[in-house]
Amino acid sequence: MCTAISFETKDHYFGRNLDLDISYNEMVTITPRNFHFRFRKAQDTSNHYALIGMAAVIDHYPLYYDATNEKGLSMAGLNFPGNAHFHREDPDKDNIAPFEFIPWILGQCETVEEARMLLSKLNLADIPFSEQLPIAPLHWMISDQQQSIVVESVKEGLKVYDNLPGVLANNPEFGYHLFNLNQYLSVTASAPENRFSKLLDLQPYSLGMGGIGLPGDLSSTSRFVRATFAKFNSASGSSEADSVGQFFHILNSVAQPKGLNALEDGKFEYTLYSSCCNMDKGIYYYTTYDNSQITAVDMHAEDLDSAQLVSYPLISSQQFRFVN
Ligand SMILES: C[C@H](CCC(=O)NCCS(=O)(=O)O)[C@H]1CC[C@H]2[C@@H]3CC[C@@H]4C[C@H](O)CC[C@]4(C)[C@H]3C[C@H](O)[C@]12C
């Protein structure tokens, strides 16, 4: 499972938890403007916006899980098994493979509005990266500094949803998650009032009771509700340290500790990494399951006019700060 959010203080932030039991050796990867992007069914390009994000680089191709471009436009792919459906090539559309979708949008668009224009003539085609890497059943959140949308390619075609919460989790289809928020109408960050009965003397006996009813489990629908509640009630300072810190606290409220989400064959799904990208500054912050210290990579510290990918392996062992 995964959860993605957008977040605003003085600057704008975009990031996600990646929950999985295996890693593909992903690294923080910067794609500079002149890197040659080959598209299977569309025009190649060596002149596009620069990208920073998490990617598995295979055969010199950055397979992005999530990324932000130099204008701040950001995208994340999250699992959508059973519902994701990619279509046969359509001669009247731009045919883009699911693994090309992030470079295709972020390479060309500055805003969500520009992305919507490309989406109106897009067909996500059922083209795998390779035999070893079949199509991943994903859906995507796309955000700029003003708004978010969700893109789901399903049997009926490509669906684009406005995403007012600025949150995405996994199954089922996005419309369900939006409607499901109505269920939690009465949940509050403040102390609850006695609306049960005036005839009974009922009082809160502890702080935090306004949140009773929020789902505490790790299912996709519950994580969506919890992340939305955390994001909308969150009180953050506006400095970079406050904002990035708060962003990770929100993601932590839906993170998965090892062991609590069991798969068959004795494996567990857990939060491999959490990311938070400052969309305005192009700085990608992350923590990993085994390293809670925040590591940062700044895209503007690289030569963005080059043609070579730059990848930083994840620092994934705990950095203890001894004081004696
Ligand atoms: C598994 C992850 C989603 C995590 C998630 O949502 N877990 C919820 C589980 S549950 O739904 O709750 O049960 C997704 C997110 C992005 C994906 C990569 C995208 C590039 C590339 C595309 C190729 O085609 C296949 C290999 C490839 C490296 C992909 C591997 C894998 O698919 C990645 C990591």
- Residue 278 domain boundaries: 2-189+219-313
Flag whether 195 is in a domain: no
Flag whether 194 is in a domain: no
Q: How far is the CA of 196 from the centre of ligand 1 (A)?
A: 45
Return the CA Rg of the chain: 20
CA 44 to chain centre: 26
Q: Would the CB of 1 count as within 6 Å of ligand 1?
A: yes
Residue 232 · residue 224 · CB < 8 Å = no
Q: How far is the CA of 315 from the centre of ligand 1 (A)?
A: 21
Domain count for the chain, please give it. Answer: 1
Flag whether 76 is in a domain: yes
Q: Would the CB of 270 count as within 6 Å of ligand 1?
A: no
pLDDT higher than threshold 70 for residue 41: yes
Flag whether 183 is in a domain: yes
Q: How far is the CA of 136 from the centre of ligand 1 (A)?
A: 6
Confidence grade of residue 22 (pLDDT, cut at 50, 70, 90):
confident
Atom of ligand 1 nearest to the CA of 1: 8
Q: Would the CB of 18 count as within 6 Å of ligand 1?
A: yes
What one-character DSSP code corresponds to residue 214? Answer: B
Flag whether 208 is in a domain: no
Is the preceding peptide bond at 32 cis, omega within 30 degrees of 0?
no
d(CA 211, CA 230): 10
Confidence grade of residue 243 (pLDDT, cut at 50, 70, 90):
very high
Confidence grade of residue 1 (pLDDT, cut at 50, 70, 90):
low
pLDDT reported for residue 34: 98
Average pLDDT over all residues of the chain: 97
Flag whether 50 is in a domain: yes
Kindly state the percentage of the chain with pLDDT values over 90: 94
CATH at 18? 3.60.60.10
ipTM: 0.92
Flag whether 302 is in a domain: yes
Tell me how many degrees the CA angle 133-136-138 measures, rounded to the nearest 5.
Answer: 160
The letter for the amino acid at 3 is T
pLDDT higher than threshold 90 for residue 264: no
Q: Which residues make Cβ contacts (< 8 Å) with residue 241, sequence separation at least 6?
A: none
Flag whether 130 is in a domain: yes
The letter for the amino acid at 153 is S
Q: What is the mean pLDDT of residues 182-206?
A: 97
Q: Please give the structure tokens belonging to residue 295.
A: 């590591």
Concerning whether 109 is annotated as a catalytic residue, the answer is no
